Chains A and B, each alone.
Chain A
């Protein structure tokens, strides 16, 4: 029984990281109906920025997370301005944007692999704080898990507040409902889109650093799998729906950990994508999505 709850905790940890990534997928989809396949690579960059912040610049762990978030924001906004915005302005079919996103993804992975950038090697992630384990109701809870839960919670609360209570959040919601009407309300839609990319990237950047300290090995292609899993989570929750993405992430995280613990760890990826197929077949709008179906 204890083993079960222990796995639950592990699933929660993995789910937290997925949540930070899938929010970016879902927000960007919500605002410009683009599945941003480069998002997993922003997460990878986040892990690397955190890595250098801790090892090279000797930043405090929390400062390192902030540092990584800020750099990811800047990079994602640049990507949006350079690669997506010109296409959006030409009103090209959405599939073009999607293919561009895949291109950006490959570009980032291979660019990061260059010797002069991050290099192709696997790097061991530093542990910026002592790992202490606590016994909690017979379960082992490590300081890593506490920090992951804590940071995820804080970021989710800030995001929730931003979206529900500030005028920027209101503007984001308006743009996602109806761009033209939002324009008529005097909103600079381009700025709101950039902001959405920035927010998504900030969360993914934090996710990258947290992933690094949980599963301490990073490489330029590390973003692919977590990125795809987070995408599955966003689809499961109903892409475009923010709370859905969070819940979907925890479900995927749990399922993955339980598959590894009780069936076989070789099945964990297969199961996640089996879920994608099942969701698309049976409930394409996801658990919380509106009845409009998934449009790629």
Chain B
């Protein structure tokens, strides 16, 4: 068990975005989170990563209570994420975007960097090499010096995932990674997700709208509607669950 969410509640004004949400993620699992628009999926991600504070409930990551930690502390414990609308540092290069994520895991002081001590130079070199190794894994090394905003859409997504991984997470949260992708790009994305899961020994929690992606990729699926979990299980079970069909297509379709 890597992540445990207990009785999480969050409301915005009168709207209950998340109601009594309970979830356990096992180590090494690839779990999907689906639900109609506005079901509260992204809110869950924002709660896990510390962007929102829950009204009550608990989030436990690797036996540590992270409910009241700040976003940067949570990242450093090993949870990183991507966004539905890709958020890269557009005016930095591909390499710098990765460098950035790496930079925060290494130790040299500002004084050292001004004096350019040997330690600093050694560390600096190691990081550069690591970054290139990373870019190679994602087939981005030829584009290292291109500004992030000039990448094609599919590669932006890839870079965002690569950057999230450069933070050395144990748990990766992907928010609709296939959003806006062509069928072809989506297939590549699915391969990529399988690949990184093995390569980095990750637990992945993924929000997704495309059923093809979710059904092929996930070992377990959690379905939300109106802030609550309405179903949970293997892809095949979910596909035939009347509650899920009702949530997606309306009640009259469900029990026909």
Residues of A within 8 A of B (CB): 158, 161-162, 165-168, 170-171, 173-174, 177-178, 180-181, 183-189
Contact = CB atoms under 8 A, between A and B. Distances in A.
B26 interface: no
A184 B110 CA distance: 21
B113 A165 contact: yes
Contacts of B76: 186
A1 B89 CA distance: 50
Contact of A167 (B75, B88, B103): B103
Contacts of A184: 49, 71-72, 75, 80-81, 164, 167
Contacts of B49: 184
A183 B110 contact: no
B113 A178 contact: no
Nearest to B46: A180
Contacts of B167: 184-186
A155 to B, nearest CB: 13
Contact of B72 (A168, A170, A188): A188
Nearest to B50: A183
Contact of B89 (A161, A166, A167, A174): A174
Contacts of B89: 173-174, 177-178, 181
Interface string B227-254: 0000000000000000000000000000
A190 B101 CA distance: 18
Given A177-B91, A180-B51, A170 B100 contact: yes
A170 B110 contact: no
Contacts of B104: 167, 171, 185-187
Given A174-B100, A178-B87, A181-B87, A187 B113 contact: no
Contacts of A165: 113
B99 A170 contact: yes
B90 interface: yes
Secondary structure of the A contact surface, majority rule:
helix
Nearest to B90: A177
Given A177-B91, A180-B51, A184-B80, A189 B72 contact: yes
Contacts of A183: 51, 70-72, 75
A165 B163 CA distance: 20
Interface string B50-92: 0100000000000000000011100110001101000111111
B114 interface: yes
B208 interface: no
Given A181-B89, A183-B72, A189-B72, A166 B114 contact: yes
A265 B76 CA distance: 58
Contacts of A167: 103-104, 106, 108, 110, 113
Contacts of A186: 72, 75-76, 101, 104-105, 167
The winner among A178, A183, A188 for most chain B CB atoms within 10 A is A183
Point out which of A158, A162, A174, A186 has the most chain B C-beta atoms below 10 A from its C-beta. Answer: A186
B176 interface: no
A161 B114 contact: yes
B167 to A, nearest CB: 6
B87 A180 contact: yes
A187 B72 contact: yes
B110 A185 contact: no
B78 to A, nearest CB: 10
Contacts of B88: 181
B110 A162 contact: yes
A185 B101 contact: yes
Given A184-B80, A186-B72, A170 B87 contact: no
B96 interface: yes
A181 to B, nearest CB: 5
A162 B116 CA distance: 12
A204 B119 CA distance: 32
Contacts of A177: 89-92
A166 B113 contact: yes
A168 B108 CA distance: 11
Nearest to A188: B72
Given A174-B89, A177-B89, 9 more contacts: A158-B114, A166-B110, A167-B103, A168-B110, A170-B99, A184-B80, A184-B81, A186-B75, A187-B72
A33 B96 CA distance: 24
